[in-house]
Amino acid sequence: MLSGTLVVLRALEREDLIVLHKWQNDEEIMRLARSFPDHVISKEALEAEFARELKGEDTGRRAYIIEEKSSNKPIGWATIRIHGFQRRNTTADVGLALGDKIAWNKGYGTETSKLLLDEVFRQLNLHRAEWWTFAENNVSVQLAKKLGFKEEARLRDAVFFDNRYHDLVVLGLLKQEFESIRAAAETSRDKTVSYLQSP
């Protein structure tokens, strides 16, 4: 379990598939989550997709339910996918979606992202994190950049929805960049605390 001040990321449980099924059949959510607004999935297919995580057998992907800390209410889901095509695992994709629209624009996505990055860099000790989204998903792109990700590639006309093609944007963050940003934030916080405590 990963815990912040606003949210908790916990393991996916079988009973979570009910709300996950609802979210993954919502056009607005899936447009933002996977650049795939016409996504529809049955309960059986969803269970098959997450079968290995539910059994604890998938070491290459970690699936989490995002819970609002104050209410213990599920508000979304998140994943870390470790790239398994290299001899040594060095990279992971991070992704999240807030399925409960009431939870949008409250800082939950930012805190969830920070918890995922802590897991990628400090627990799994990976070298880089990747963030993929379609180019017009400004909220996602700006959140990634706020966290220190840099745009590394643009795949032209890589996804098709709403009767037109869209570019995919690939953003990356290296471990040393993550550590530098975290150190600067901690130093800034320490200075603020020191200033507030001074007579």
Residue 86: what pLDDT? 64
Taking 60 as the threshold, does the pLDDT of residue 196 lie above it? no
Share of the chain above pLDDT 70, in %: 92
- Would you call 198 helix, strand, or coil by DSSP? coil
Secondary element (H or E) of residue 52: helix 51-55
The string of pLDDT tens digits covering residues 48-90 is: 988 888 888 777 889 999 999 999 999 999 999 998 666 677 9
CB 80 within 8 A of CB 61: yes
Taking 50 as the threshold, does the pLDDT of residue 198 lie above it? no
Beta strands in the chain, from DSSP E residues, in sequence order = 2-3, 7-11, 61-68, 73-82, 91-98, 128-134, 150-161, 164-174
CA atoms of 146 and 33, how far apart (whole Å):
18
The string of pLDDT tens digits covering residues 131-178 is: 999 999 999 999 999 999 999 999 999 999 889 999 999 999 999 999
Please classify residue 140 by burial: count the beta carbons closer than 10 Å to its beta carbon, then call 0-12 exposed, 13-18 middle and 19+ buried: buried
Share of the chain above pLDDT 90, in %: 69
Give pTM, 2 decimals. Answer: 0.87
24 vs 37, which has greater pLDDT? 24
Q: How confident is the model at residue 190 (pLDDT cuts 50, 70, 90)?
A: low
CA atoms of 100 and 23, how far apart (whole Å):
8
